[in-house]
Amino acid sequence: MNNINIEKLRKFAEKFVEVEPDRLGTEGWWLTPLLAAAPVDQRFEQLPRIAANDHLHPNDLLSTAKSVIVFFIPFKKDLVKENKDGDRPCRNWGVAYVQTNDLIGRLSQALSDLLAEHGFKSELTPATNNFDEAKLMARWSHKHLGYLVNLGRFGVHNMLITTAGCAGRLGSLVTEAQIGEHPLINSDEACLIKVGEDCGKCMKACPVEALSENDFERRECWNRLNENRDTLDYLSDLPESTHVCGKCAAIMPCSFLNPVASL
């Protein structure tokens, strides 16, 4: 009954993402997803310090939670390349954002259903909309959870760099199942600047100079995402929540891999 393990969860996620283009009748935007897990232990007590001060603990979502699962769905190179040109996101970047949020929601639910079939409860949070617009911080940050379960490391662009890069989106859930410790990244850092190498390409690419080596101007970035949604005609039919830019992830040394791994 309860023989669920990381391999089954990973295979399940891979299959789910693989068939999504057929379900939509399109070519799809996605590469093979990554999935990491870790036991609910004292590391998660850091969340209020390293993320938002009102960030939830996994046991706030599910008091009996034993594991945190975080997955990353990478975007195909063609999409990321298309978003490179100019200072504004391309339409496909917006469409991919919307479709990926939907995919993340359904994959999270499907993983939860799979765990339930094995006798374990799970709890989910939405891919977006757990965000405090005053503080510009999430009360459930997939990025910080991804860092703590060793799915990736933060770049100076404030995104998580995984072994499949940073150009993609994250989802997470907590579960009663004891999945164990299954990291995917081995290096302490994955951003070139953080290991003393020359880079900073993401900083140069940001159209509003929101990025610097030791700081992230959240307000500047957030204003830009809203401006893009509100002023670009070709995004106007997409949901109000289509907050996109992505210039700092577009064809960077860390877009599709962990550049520190090959140093």
> Could you say whether residue 96 binds ligand SF4 (CB under 6 A)?
no
Interface pick for ligand SF4 out of 193, 235, 242, 256 (rule CB under 6 A): 193
Residues 8-37 interacting with ligand SF4 (rule: CB under 6 A): none
> Could you say whether residue 187 binds ligand SF4 (CB under 6 A)?
no
> Could you say whether residue 38 binds ligand SF4 (CB under 6 A)?
no
Residues 217-256 interacting with ligand SF4 (rule: CB under 6 A): 221, 224, 245-248, 252-254
CB of 130 vs ligand SF4, minimal distance in Å: 19
Q: What is the DSSP string of the chain?
A: -----HHHHHHHHHHHHHTHHHHHTS--SB---EEEEEES-GGGGGHHHHS-TTPPPHHHH-TT--EEEEEEEEBPHHHHHHTTSSSS--HHHHHHHHHHHHHHHHHHHHHHHHHHHTT--EEE--SSS-EETTTTEESS-HHHHHHHTTSEEE-TTSSEEETTBSSEEEEEEEESS----B----SS---TGGGT-S--HHHHH-TT--EETTEE-HHHHHHHHHHHHHH-GGGTTS-TT-----GGGTT-TTSSS-GGGG-
> Could you say whether residue 165 binds ligand SF4 (CB under 6 A)?
no
- In the complex with ligand SF4, the residue whose CB is nearer, 14 or 197, is 197
Longest CA–CA separation in the chain, Å: 53
Give the distance from CA 9 to its chain's centroid.
Answer: 17
- In the complex with ligand SF4, the residue whose CB is nearer, 9 or 211, is 211
- In the complex with ligand SF4, the residue whose CB is nearer, 18 or 189, is 189
- In the complex with ligand SF4, the residue whose CB is nearer, 128 or 178, is 128
Angle at the Cα of 149 from the Cα atoms of 241 and 20, rounded to 5 degrees: 50
> Could you say whether residue 136 binds ligand SF4 (CB under 6 A)?
no
Angle at the Cα of 104 from the Cα atoms of 102 and 106, rounded to 5 degrees: 70
> Could you say whether residue 169 binds ligand SF4 (CB under 6 A)?
no
Interface pick for ligand SF4 out of 156, 170, 184, 185 (rule CB under 6 A): 156
Interface pick for ligand SF4 out of 70, 103, 191, 235 (rule CB under 6 A): 191
CB of 243 vs ligand SF4, minimal distance in Å: 9
Interface pick for ligand SF4 out of 38, 164, 210, 235 (rule CB under 6 A): 210
> Could you say whether residue 200 binds ligand SF4 (CB under 6 A)?
yes
- Contact residues for ligand SF4 (CB under 6 A)? 155-157, 191-193, 199-202, 205-206, 208, 210-211, 221, 224, 245-248, 252-254, 259
